[in-house]
Amino acid sequence: MIWETTTLNCRGTLVDLKTPIVMGILNVTEDSFSDGGKFTSPDASMQQVATMLQEGATIIDIGGQSSRPGAKQLSPDEEWTQVEPHLRRLIKTFPQAIFSIDTFYSQVARQSLDLGVHMINDISAWQTDAELLSVVVEYQVPYVLMHMQGTPGTMQQDPSYEDVIVDVLDFMIDRLRTLMEHSVHDVIIDPGFGFGKTIDHNFRLLKNLNAFKILEKPILAGLSRKSMIGRALDDAKRDRENSTTVLHTLALQGGAKILRAHHVQNAMECIQIWNRMQQSDLPLTPDEEEILHK
């Protein structure tokens, strides 16, 4: 039997993962692949966070740097300039909310944690900035460990694997060993859909997502509005919300505990339907038994 983490200690606030949760995405950049420019003003980001929390988001993940393929990489100072005014207002306005900082820079992570952010979402697994590991160890906050082949600027230039499942698992095992050696236990696994993967790699990872249960850590699925949808449907301009819900359902079936989503309400409805379906595994009531055997 595989043991699995069922709670996260977010700086004293325990998050229950027995039931899947939603991590709402807040991009405060001009060039994010999906909603770039919509939430660059603090007023707009405030309204969006209020909406996501009302719709049921457990965690709000704030990013000040685009990680779309080919995106220009900002410096730590430039990224901090993007996120700092939003973080200050949001943490003050929503003191009960749990905020995550989406960054691969140790400087931005440390400054965000000092403001009151609760966790770190790092697409690079501290490969971009080795000091980020030290920050995670020092603050002992939950850490999203994601796999990416290459960098956002190069990752979609002919990504290749001997076996994408085995290769990503080996990477995770190696990084988890380091984290465990430093007593960092609240780790979330993100296979990195779209980060240095072809469409076939992405769908193979999704189809075999339950293989990552062997790591005994909660799985995060970052599938919302990804380009794999447009490529699968041969329509890059298609609205991706309906297809995102399909992918979220498949991710839940594969064991995902966190859905990272742009549209929180849709993801929450997906989880609610999924939970209701799980209840159907309960033993039949006497009335149901009688009807079944008539």
List per-residue pLDDT tens for the chain, 294 residues long. Answer: 567 778 999 999 999 999 999 999 999 987 555 555 678 888 999 999 999 999 999 999 999 988 776 677 899 999 999 999 999 999 999 999 999 999 999 999 999 999 999 999 999 999 999 999 999 999 999 999 999 986 666 656 677 899 999 999 999 999 999 999 999 999 999 999 999 899 999 999 999 999 999 999 999 999 999 888 888 888 776 778 999 999 999 999 999 999 999 999 999 999 999 998 888 766 767 776 676 566
For residues 109 and 220, what is the distance between their CA atoms, to the nearest angstrom?
A: 20
Please give the pLDDT value at position 151: 65
For residues 142 and 8, what is the distance between their CA atoms, to the nearest angstrom?
A: 7
For residues 221 and 236, what is the distance between their CA atoms, to the nearest angstrom?
A: 21
Cα distance from N-terminal residue to C-terminal residue, the chain: 38
Helix axes of 42-55 and 76-93: crossing angle, nearest 10 degrees? 60
Q: Which long-range contacts (CB under 8 A, 24 or more apart) does 50-53 make?
A: 50/94, 51/264, 52/24, 52/26, 52/264, 53/24, 53/94, 53/97
Show the tokens assigned to 46. 């405030």
User: How many residues are listed for the chain in this entry?
Assistant: 294
- Return the DSSP state at 154: T
Residue 103 vs residues 61, 95, 126, 257, 263: alpha-carbon distances, Å: 10, 21, 10, 21, 21
Please give the pLDDT value at position 153: 60
For residues 107 and 135, what is the distance between their CA atoms, to the nearest angstrom?
A: 9
Q: Is the domain defined by 15-279 classed in CATH 3.20.20.20?
A: yes
Show the tokens assigned to 49. 């966070």
For residues 112 and 110, what is the distance between their CA atoms, to the nearest angstrom?
A: 5
- Our answer to whether residue 88 is catalytic in this structure is no
Full-model pTM = 0.90
**From 225, 226, 240, 257, active-site residue:** 226
Please give the pLDDT value at position 39: 80
For residues 167 and 175, what is the distance between their CA atoms, to the nearest angstrom?
A: 13
Please give the pLDDT value at position 2: 63
Backbone angles phi, psi at 122, to 5 degrees: -115, 110
For residues 160 and 198, what is the distance between their CA atoms, to the nearest angstrom?
A: 8
Please give the pLDDT value at position 282: 66
Rg (Cα) of the chain, in Å, rounded? 19
For residues 264 and 268, what is the distance between their CA atoms, to the nearest angstrom?
A: 6
**What contacts 126, CB < 8 A, 6 or more positions away?**
104, 132, 133, 136
- Our answer to whether residue 238 is catalytic in this structure is no
Q: Where are the domains of the chain?
A: 15-279
**From 110, 175, 225, 260, active-site residue:** 260
Residue of 152, 189, 153, 183 whose CA lies nearest to 168: 189
Show the tokens assigned to 157. 């230039």
